[in-house]
Chains A and B, each alone.
Chain A
Amino acid sequence: MRRIVRKRQLSENVFQFVVEAPHVAKAHRPGQFVVIQLEDEFSERIPLSVADWDPEAGTITLIVQVVGKTTRMLSLRREGEGIAHVLGPLGNPTDIEKVGTVVCVGGGIGTAPLHPIARAFRRKGNRVISIIGARTKDLIILEDEMRSVSDELIVCTDDGSYGRKALVTEPLKELCEQGDVNEVVAIGPPIMMKFCAETTRPFGIKTVVSLNTIMVDGTGMCGGCRVKVGDEIKFVCVDGPEFDGHLVDFDGMMRRLAAYRPMEQEKDHRCKLELVGNERRGE
């Protein structure tokens, strides 16, 4: 059992957990992720990105958006309670080199894993320009953290309730047109990463995306996370999670991500009904 030592609600559906996981904390690098399982029996395994880690304290920070039953159940966990299993660090670390100017683009919850990557690029001596976006003001997370690791920060909202009223691709395109962008890292919903890659493609700028596909084991044993990159089938958990955004078959990936949606919705719906029932009974 991995104990939750701190919990904070970042927005209506987004929660931050600091979890005791000394082995993971010691070995973790930017770009890697963990797989968690809430309970021993019947719980599913889900991949989560790691927003931060502290080797001294032996803790990792997870930022979780409620999208279904498992994330909903996790969001209800309190400080002092725990997560049955945390496996990690998984996947390959981000390749952090000194390249010049790096644009870091974060969409919604994708800003969480982006933050340590931006920080590492900055520490390596790069000029870091960050663009973070969300549907609306309340869904912008880690603004201060991103500002502190960026030379410049651009905040966008779809509805214009905060920062610039734009999709993240707009300022990204402007930066590409201005000319001195050496590398782009985009993390967020698949559709956002797809359009970031389309934005940079005409400029021939290296664009790294971090894929969050369906996973079961997270160790390369099943291929549930496979995705087409160029002409090859890759396993996101061991070959990734980061790939060349210009080669990823995002449409195929989004189809596979949607495969279980009816079942997921059914589970989440029943979970919500149960929670309401428990509340009525005063549990």
Chain B
Amino acid sequence: MEHRHISDDVLYSKEELDRRARELLSDLEGRTLRNKERLAIPPQPMPELDPVVRSRRVDEVTLGYTETQAKVEALRCLQCKNAPCIAGCPVSINIPAFIRKIVEGEYKESVDIIKETNLLPSICGRVCPQEKQCQEACTVGKALKDPLKAVSIGRLERFVADWEREHGLYTLPPVKPDSGKKVAIIGSGPAGLTAAVDLRREGHTVVIFEAFPKAGGVMVYGIPEFRLPKRLVEDEIRHLEDLGVEFVYDFLVGKTRTLTQLLEEDGFDVVFISAGAGLPKFMGIEGEDLVGVYSANEYLTRTNLMKAYDRERADTPILPSRRVAVIGGGNVAMDAARMALRVGAEEVIVIYRRTEKEMPARREEVIHAMEEGVEFRFLTNVKRIMGDGEGKVRAVECLSYRLGEPDASGRPRPVPIEGSEHSIEVDTVIFALGSVPHPLIRKTMPEVAVSERGTIVVDEHLRTSHPRIFAGGDVVTGAATVIEAMGAGRKAARSIHLLLSGELPPPKEAGTS
């Protein structure tokens, strides 16, 4: 039952896609290809589970390239000397080099090139918005005047990472001798994990403090199983443990121990805060306290981390829903909408203020949601939530919108149309309006200065107002992407290593105290 939508009603199986790739490859292999010939190679589609089947299961939707497909896709790369793709990658992977190794069939060498700068390739290959990063800059996409026809760098990254794991060839990077220095990392999301690896490789003792019983941050509680299988995250965590990184779970820094205690009593030389932006936003409208109203964080934590999708075995319940309204247009909205189908909702409606074009969600995820039967009401927003007299959600009252002048973000501002009130009957409402840094930061970490938005203020070295405390990822930027958090983790690790080696310039205000 593995199929792929090519056009409206034609489905191809993984075997069929592989057969086509084989035909192409037999023509191409062994020859020196000119750029024109490379540009003529059709982009390789990703094999996927049939939408009808997958929308009721949590299995991973995309199945990954076959080896032949990967080789054909790799042949599309022009091996540009200036490699604009590298500049588009927040952790500067040597993209042409790893793709060249795929053409040569040297998959282990290929993944090792990636791992010089990115230790989580099987995750990044799946969840990075490549179309806005490496692939946006790709010369092939530019030459073909279609960014969707750029070389599928993410899928190739995933291919070699999966290949390494499936063949049991995983290798750990070398670790320098013990430096005698101790670093505490707060939060085990992508920023914390990346910083941990880099610091550990320099020989420092690294302890990650995590409030949840599982490491991975948004990769375990937010991004659903059908986009990112949790066993991949678990594998990566095990690799970090093998590297010597220590994990302490059920530990809420600020409550269980304070930053000062970690630095003054527990012997840590430096703290890196990578606690993310975990506080969900609500709209402050009537009816938000009705039964059946969830934040996407709660909905996804219950279904994903606590496995409520497995109604038989999981103790954590999720309300049974018939019609679900998801408010928002980002990736989290798509994840919540698609998860709602998988836990049994009959109909799921995404309500978004702007149009399809302005949706911040990845194009691929929007298409996947549409294929699975999620409905979209664009230019619509919720005004209030109506109850049934027993305190349960009955319907949402909505307003229609039109697009006005561009706002500060450059996107057209949605303007409500007066008198356009209409209601949509639903029994569940999920708010996916983004999240902001946690109020616990302000309340329990007085050592670090925060902005008005609640984000931690850092200098160009990602150092906070405290000379031995650094911060990075969503806790500094507000909600962003996995790979940007990883980039911040890497940058912070470099600064922290310089500080521990006595080479980081002192903070600017150092002389004034």
Contacts and interface: CB of A to CB of B under 8 A. Distances in A.
Interface in A80-135: 84-90
A252 B310 CA distance: 29
B306 A44 contact: yes
B282 A90 contact: no
B367 interface: no
A226 B294 CA distance: 10
A259 B314 CA distance: 17
Given A40-B213, A89-B255, A89-B256, A223 B315 contact: no
B315 A44 contact: yes
B289 interface: yes
Contacts of B443: 238
A275 B317 CA distance: 21
A15 B333 CA distance: 42
Size bracket of the B interface: 35 or more
Nearest to A261: B317
Contact of B306 (A216, A252, A263): A216
Nearest to B297: A222
A1 to B, nearest CB: 11
A249 B289 CA distance: 10
Interface in B260-285: 278-280, 282, 284
A227 B290 CA distance: 10
Interface string A218-262: 011111101110000100001000000000010010011011100
A11 interface: no
A260 B314 contact: no
B251 A23 contact: yes
B256 A27 contact: yes
B398 interface: no
A44 B316 contact: yes
Contact of B289 (A89, A216, A219, A227): A227
Contact of A85 (B221, B249, B288): B249
14 contacts: A23-B256, A37-B213, A41-B307, A44-B317, A88-B255, A221-B278, A222-B298, A228-B289, A238-B440, A259-B292, A260-B319, A264-B317, A267-B315, A267-B317
Contacts of B317: 44, 260, 263-264, 267
A228 B289 CA distance: 7
Given A85-B213, A219-B252, A233 B306 contact: no
B388 to A, nearest CB: 11
Contacts of A86: 250
A89 B251 CA distance: 9
Contacts of B282: 223, 226, 233
Contacts of B301: 216-217, 221-222
B302 A42 contact: no
Nearest to B222: A221
Contacts of B212: 217
Interface in B305-324: 306-307, 310, 313-317, 319
Interface string B431-458: 0000000111001000000000000000
B68 interface: no
Contacts of B132: none
Nearest to A249: B289
A70 interface: yes
A220 B438 contact: yes
A87 B252 contact: yes
B479 interface: no
A252 B315 contact: no
A251 to B, nearest CB: 8
B136 to A, nearest CB: 32
B315 A42 contact: yes
Contacts of B316: 44-45, 216
Interface string B72-98: 000000000000000000000000000
A42 B314 contact: yes
Interface string A42-65: 111100000000000000000000
A267 B295 CA distance: 24
Interface of B: 211-213, 221, 249-252, 255-257, 278-280, 282, 284, 288-289, 291-292, 294-295, 297-298, 301-302, 306-307, 310, 313-317, 319, 390-391, 438-440, 443
B297 A223 contact: yes
B289 A256 contact: yes
Interface of A: 23-24, 27, 37, 40-45, 69-70, 84-90, 216-217, 219-224, 226-228, 233, 238, 249, 252, 255-256, 258-260, 263-264, 267
A238 B279 CA distance: 11
Contact of B255 (A27, A70, A222): A27
Given A238-B440, A259-B292, A260-B319, 4 more contacts: A87-B252, A220-B438, A223-B295, A267-B315
A37 B214 CA distance: 12
A263 B289 CA distance: 20
Nearest to A86: B250
Contacts of B295: 222-224
A221 B438 contact: yes
Nearest to A263: B317
B264 to A, nearest CB: 15
A27 B438 CA distance: 21
Contacts of B280: 221-223
A273 to B, nearest CB: 14
Given A90-B252, A252-B391, A42 B257 contact: no
A85 B319 CA distance: 25
Contact of A219 (B211, B307, B315): B211
A217 B306 CA distance: 10
Contacts of B284: 233
Given A87-B211, A223-B280, A223-B295, A27 B302 contact: no
A87 B210 CA distance: 10
B420 to A, nearest CB: 27
A23 B253 CA distance: 11
Nearest to A232: B284
A259 B302 CA distance: 14
Contacts of A41: 307
Nearest to B315: A44
Nearest to A227: B289
Residue among A24, A44, A221, A263 with the most chain B CB within 10 A?
A221
A44 B282 CA distance: 25
B289 A220 contact: no
Nearest to A222: B298
B278 A220 contact: yes
Residue among B257, B301, B315, B438 with the most chain A CB within 10 A?
B315
B155 to A, nearest CB: 31
B222 to A, nearest CB: 10
A42 B313 contact: yes
B169 to A, nearest CB: 29
A84 B289 CA distance: 32
A235 to B, nearest CB: 8
Contacts of B319: 259-260
A255 B288 contact: no
Contacts of A226: 282, 288-289
Contacts of A85: 213, 249-250
